[in-house]
Structure 1
Amino acid sequence: MYGLITDLYQLTMAAGYFLAGKANEVATFELFLRRLPPERNYVIAAGLEQAVDYLLNLHFEPAQIDYLKHLSQFQRAPAEFFDYLARLRFTGDLDAVPEGTPVFPDEPILRVRAPLIEAQIVETYLLATIGFQSMVATKASRVVYAAAGRSVIEFGTRRAHSPQAGVLAGRAAYIGGCIGTSNVQAGFLYGVPVFGTAAHSWVLSFESEIESFRKLQELLGPSTVYLVDTYDTLQGTRRAASLGRPMWGVRLDSGNYVELSRMVRRILNEAGLHDARIMVSGDMNEYKILELVREEAPIDAFGVGTELATSADAPNLAVIYKLVELESDGRKRYTAKFSTEKETWPGAKQVFRYTGYDLLACVDEEPQRSPEGEEPEVLLQPVIRKGELVRRLPDVHQIREHALRALERLPRAYRSLFGVEPAYRVEPTPRLRSLRDQVRRQYLEGTP
């Protein structure tokens, strides 16, 4: 399982490491953000549960190994390499920030320490699952912030980049603050609350709109949400209101939401349905929601689909996975890149979070009180040791609560829907700066 869910070059490097006698070298890689996406001031880390599942179950099936043997790139690989793959399991260590934690560029989200081949081939999967879910969780947190206390439901599976992506988007959106998802599989697998109304096809399948509403109410009772804009939004609302309780409310999927929501609210109130709620959907994003809130439109909930499940305005995350240390024959060698705009910090690292700023430290540095006497939060925690899970992972509800609390602790300016200057401060410790200078001299100047 999972063995071939990787880029080919991970496996050609693995074969090369094996041939070069480097299989027993122990590598430390860190996964982190190179930069923030446009208009983002933070990223919500998500996807750790899937990363752990991958590492604990990583192996190659015989048919997969046979497939690799027939690829031209492996014609010179020794037979012992394929025997090695047949036995391969993840035997290393994983440290990670808790899911739902806001993170910033250069801060490790995950740290993997394992034999070089094991640590190398996991790169692709870890980048994919952490990058995608963190991207969606971050987008969700922005939408929820714009909604200013109104409920947000993730509706995006049908426009997600695959059905599988839709499931994980539902999970990530819940972590980011949505109250639930329309994706039933996300509910089944992860316990995310699921919500659904009825499509226009439901209304169109009946001879009359009122008949479709009546049958929906018979089925759903107090969970009934009438989609009222199939023909005429106001007339549809009057028909829904005429049926009285039980009902949850109505959904608008088109039109001028400010004007329509006010008129719909009036119709519902006049019918004595003051507790009936109004949901709007249809190409929603954080900026459209922000405007509706500013206009004081009487909207109680938002259904957000395409823009959320694809993070349409920032559809990828610049997560990278870099080698920072290599141990061989009892000797540790620190590694870093110094190429333009892609420079990295050497050595395994830890993040200490204080109120309003973070320290990026060498992994064996002790946390220090701030000048104000504050004890920092130590972000990276042990998750896997020697291939075995050592920390019980929280469920998705606990992760969501952690994310909400962590965002509340951020300085308010960084919750903005627009880019803020100066960026959140991540300060390397003097010792880390010294290590970088030492490694730079070693590689660029050839001096120890």
Structure 2
Amino acid sequence: MRNLGLCTDLYELTMAQSYLYEGKTGKAVFSLYVRKLPENRNFLISAGLETLIKRIENFKFGEEEIRYLRSLGLFKDDFLDYLREFEFDGNIYAIPEGRIIFQNEPIVQVEASIPKAQLLETMVINTIQLETMIASKAVRSYLVAKGKKLVDFGFRRAHGLEAGILAARASFIAGFDGTSNVEAGRRFGIPVVGTMAHSYVMIFDKEEDAFRAFARLYPKNAIFLVDTYDTIEAVKKVVKLAKEGVPTVGIRIDSGDIVKLTKEARRILDENGLENVKIIVSGGVDEYKIKEWLDKGAPIDGFGVGTKFITSADAPYFDIAYKLVEYEGKPKYKLSPGKKTFPYKRQVYRYYKGGKMAYDETVKWGEEREGEKLVKLYVENGKLKEKLPSLKEIREVVIEELNKLPEEFKDIYRRCEYEVKIL
């Protein structure tokens, strides 16, 4: 990975230089949290910690970065020397990936000398917001899918290549079964899935010739896109091919009246002994569509979920902040209207009633309570304390968390407020 030192905002660098010149190098604690959940989110899924830790390891300044900073005419040679030797040697406290979190809870807390902790602000916000936002959107599809397969089809509509790759990671954590994103598959070991595009069907003189050619080369992945021309007629062609012995795993419908078309397609397939042929739906799919179609009895086996999920279309950003809460052991906080902050490094305690989440408390670090501790120390003096969990392990955590979440919080249409006591 390349040096990431310039992946920050200019004012982080100018403040850091001033801190050094003013002798402000004491230990600081910054806390990252979401002030208020979006109107259509009852909870969030913590995600992105592993990505953040890897990025911090590469938050360095090589000669190319130093030359650029010198060209700005803002930085003195001794500060540039400081950056040239920059290495994060502080502590990172975080709520583990996959845990359910709420407003005003410290997702990540960075403890280091004030210049170093300040320089990481932009990267911490950027990294944690993206993956937490996407995981929190994706899990809503998981909640309403009733066990049907979910695949990330959103790469082409993501806000940049890296955002699409990390979104695939976040969606797998949140219950998706695979991704169309090949790089995400390579990088994270997520199962990769794909069918065919309309262009593939159109390049052949006959629709059935496209299906036959695809099945010949990919017999175990023969899912045919049937809505290029006439969906029901294409389904009938699939039946004819299957009876001829052409491998047929499933069909995909990408447009039209999904409930009507899937019911008719299922009837045709079943009447011809093709009960095992799956029906996959894509095109404008999100949690609202999934719930609507399944509630109307659409016989869908899996969903390709794309644009609206990978952009978190109904909540494309969080009111997320990275704020100074402690310096040299003294409390630091803001009193700005609507942006009040809370002092000190903190622990979060979770309490349960009848096996379900009841309320949380955030308290000054070191104060003992009876609840379950959520915040862990992951990086100490710049070194990772223990091996991070695999994506599959994080995914299992999400499922366990959902089992402990009160049912009303799982309703995608209902607004619920979870109590977080700040002590």
Aligned to 1:394: 389
1:339 aligns with 2:336: yes
Unaligned runs of 5+ in 1: 369-375, 433-448
| Secondary structure at the counterpart of residue 108 of structure 1 | coil
Q: TM-score, normalised by structure 1?
A: 0.90
Distance 2:64 2:382 in 1: 24
1:190 aligns with 2:184: no
Aligned residues of 2:48 and 2:97 also touching (Cα < 8 A): yes
Aligned to 1:42: 43
Aligned to 1:359: 361
Query: Offset at 1:242?
Result: 1.7
Could you list the per-position Cα deviations for residues 120-149 of structure 1 after superposition, in whole angstroms to 9, with x for gaps in the alignment? 011101111110111110110011112122
Could you list the per-position Cα deviations for residues 398-447 of structure 1 after superposition, in whole angstroms to 9, with x for gaps in the alignment? 111111111221111111112424x111112xxx3xxxxxxxxxxxxxxx
**Counterpart residue identity of residue 180, structure 2:** S
Aligned to 2:310: 309
Could you list the per-position Cα deviations for residues 286-343 of structure 1 after superposition, in whole angstroms to 9, with x for gaps in the alignment? 111111011011111111110011011111122210110001xxxx211011110111
Q: How do residues 358-437 of structure 1 correspond to structure 2 at under 5 angstroms?
A: 358-368=360-370, 376-421=371-416, 423-428=417-422, 432=423
Aligned residues of 1:28 and 1:326 also touching (Cα < 8 A): yes
Could you list the per-position Cα deviations for residues 374-405 of structure 1 after superposition, in whole angstroms to 9, with x for gaps in the alignment? xx321111110000110211111111111111
Query: Offset at 1:79?
Result: 2.0
Query: Offset at 1:36?
Result: 0.6
1:253 aligns with 2:251: no
Aligned residues of 2:40 and 2:314 also touching (Cα < 8 A): no
Aligned residues of 1:242 and 1:271 also touching (Cα < 8 A): no
Aligned to 2:158: 160
Could you list the per-position Cα deviations for residues 161-194 of structure 1 after superposition, in whole angstroms to 9, with x for gaps in the alignment? 1111111111111111111111011110011111
Q: How do residues 40-439 of structure 1 correspond to structure 2 at under 5 angstroms?
A: 40-72=41-73, 74=74, 77-244=75-242, 246-327=247-328, 332-355=329-352, 356-368=358-370, 376-421=371-416, 423-428=417-422, 432=423
| Secondary structure at the counterpart of residue 266 of structure 1 | helix
Aligned residues of 1:40 and 1:418 also touching (Cα < 8 A): no
Distance 1:315 1:257 in 2: 27
Deviates more, 1:237-246 or 1:404-413: 237-246
Aligned to 1:435: none
| Secondary structure at the counterpart of residue 402 of structure 1 | helix
**Counterpart residue identity of residue 383, structure 2:** E
Query: Offset at 1:243?
Result: 2.0
**Counterpart residue identity of residue 334, structure 2:** K
Distance 2:372 2:216 in 1: 52
Query: Offset at 1:78?
Result: 3.3
Unaligned runs of 5+ in 2: 353-357
Query: Offset at 1:246?
Result: 3.0
Distance 2:290 2:222 in 1: 24
Distance 1:219 1:317 in 2: 45
Could you list the per-position Cα deviations for residues 213-243 of structure 1 after superposition, in whole angstroms to 9, with x for gaps in the alignment? 0111112213211100111101111111222
Residue identity over aligned pairs, in percent, reads: 43
Could you list the per-position Cα deviations for residues 253-272 of structure 1 after superposition, in whole angstroms to 9, with x for gaps in the alignment? 01101110010001111121
| Secondary structure at the counterpart of residue 243 of structure 1 | helix
**Counterpart residue identity of residue 92, structure 2:** L
Distance 2:66 2:23 in 1: 21
Could you list the per-position Cα deviations for residues 344-373 of structure 1 after superposition, in whole angstroms to 9, with x for gaps in the alignment? 1111100011222111111101131xxxxx
Q: CA RMSD in A?
A: 1.1
Query: Offset at 1:97?
Result: 0.9
Aligned residues of 1:38 and 1:419 also touching (Cα < 8 A): no
**Counterpart residue identity of residue 392, structure 1:** K
Could you list the per-position Cα deviations for residues 67-103 of structure 1 after superposition, in whole angstroms to 9, with x for gaps in the alignment? 111214x1xx432111111111000000111111111
**Counterpart residue identity of residue 261, structure 2:** L
Distance 1:267 1:92 in 2: 63
